[in-house]
Amino acid sequence: MSQNQIRILVADDHTLLREALCDLLRAEPDFEIVAQAGTGTAAIQLAAEHRPDVLLLDLEMPESNPPDTVRRLLEQDPTLRIIVLSMHDAQQLVQQLLSLGVRGYLHKGARRHTLVSAIQQSVGEGPQTVTLSVSPESLRARAEEPEDPSTLSTREREVLVLVSEALSNRQIATRLGVAEATVKRHLRNIFTKLEAVSRIDAVNRAVERALISPQHTESAQGARGWR
C-alpha cells in the first residue's frame, strides 16, 4: 500500500451496491477501501477504528439520523471528509448537512468521474472545496423555494447547545464572549422560530428537528428561565 493512497470507508446498507461501489473505487490506484459499514452505528464505530481519510455515507441506512450521524462523526474526527450519497436531494437536508461540514453531496445517479473527483478534491491541498451534484429537479426547487424562517443560525444553535448543558444565561455569555443581553435576544429568536414555551421545550423541539444533538438534553431540566 502506498502512503499516498486515500483511505476510504464506504457506508451503505445495500450490500450489492456497496460492494459494487467498492470494486469501482479499487480500480483507482490511489484509493484504498479500509472498511465497509451497513448501518449508521457501524459507520461511526468503524470510522473510530480505522480513521479513514474519506467516508462515503449513504443517507438511507438503518440506525442513522443523517444530521446527527454527521455531527457525531465530525466530533469524533474533525479531519474526516464526509461525502454523502443519496437518491434524494431535498433542499433543506442538503443545506443542513453542508452547514455541518460534509465535503460533498452526490446524487446516486452521478457519474463515476464525479465521485472520483469529489474524493480527490476533498483531501487535496489548498482552499476547501465542496462537491455538489444533485438532480435538476432539486436545483429548480432550490431556486424557487423561499428560505425557511424556522432555521436556526449557527450562533443560535451554539446557544441552544449550551442551554441543553444547563448553563445559565450569564454562563453562556461568558462561554461565547458576548453580553448576557445578547444571549437573551438569541433565546427570544429561538423561542419564536421553534414556537417553544420554555428552555426545555426549545431543546426538545430542536432535537426532534435534528438541529442539535440529543446528547445532553436531560441536563436542560435544571436550566433557569431567560426572562
Burial label, 126 (beta-carbon count in 10 A; 0-12, 13-18, 19+): exposed
Average pLDDT over residues 126-152: 54
Question: How confident is the model over 179-210, as pLDDT tens digits?
Answer: 888 899 889 889 988 888 888 888 888 888 87
pLDDT of residue 146: 47
Label residues 75-84 b or e (16+ Cβ within 10 Å = b): eeeeebbbbb
Question: How confident is the model over 2-17, as pLDDT tens digits?
Answer: 568 999 999 999 999 9
Per-residue cell: 50 = 480505522
Q: Does 198 map to a domain?
A: yes
Q: Are both 83 and 167 inside the same structural domain?
A: no
Spell out the residues 6+ positions from residue 108 whose beta carbon is closer than 8 angstroms to its own.
85, 86, 87
DSSP annotation of 103 = S
pLDDT of residue 105: 86
DSSP annotation of 127 = S
Q: Are both 103 and 188 inside the same structural domain?
A: no
The model carries a pTM of: 0.59
Top mean-pLDDT range of 46-55, 72-81, 123-132, 163-172: 46-55
Question: How confident is the model over 28-75, as pLDDT tens digits?
Answer: 999 999 999 999 999 999 999 999 999 999 988 887 788 889 999 999
Contact status, residue 168 vs residue 220, Cβ threshold 8 Å: no
Q: What is the CATH number of the domain that holds 70?
A: 3.40.50.2300
Q: Are both 131 and 167 inside the same structural domain?
A: no
Q: What is the CATH number of the domain that holds 190?
A: 1.10.10.10
Average pLDDT over residues 146-167: 77
Spell out the residues 6+ positions from residue 20 whose beta carbon is closer than 8 angstroms to its own.
none
Per-residue cell: 71 = 455531527
Average pLDDT, the chain: 81
* Crossing angle of helices 154-164 and 169-176, rounded to 10°: 130
**Number of neighbours of residue 167 by Cβ within 10 angstroms:** 21
Pairing of strands 54-58, 81-86: parallel
166 pLDDT exceeds 60?
A: yes
Q: Are both 160 and 99 inside the same structural domain?
A: no
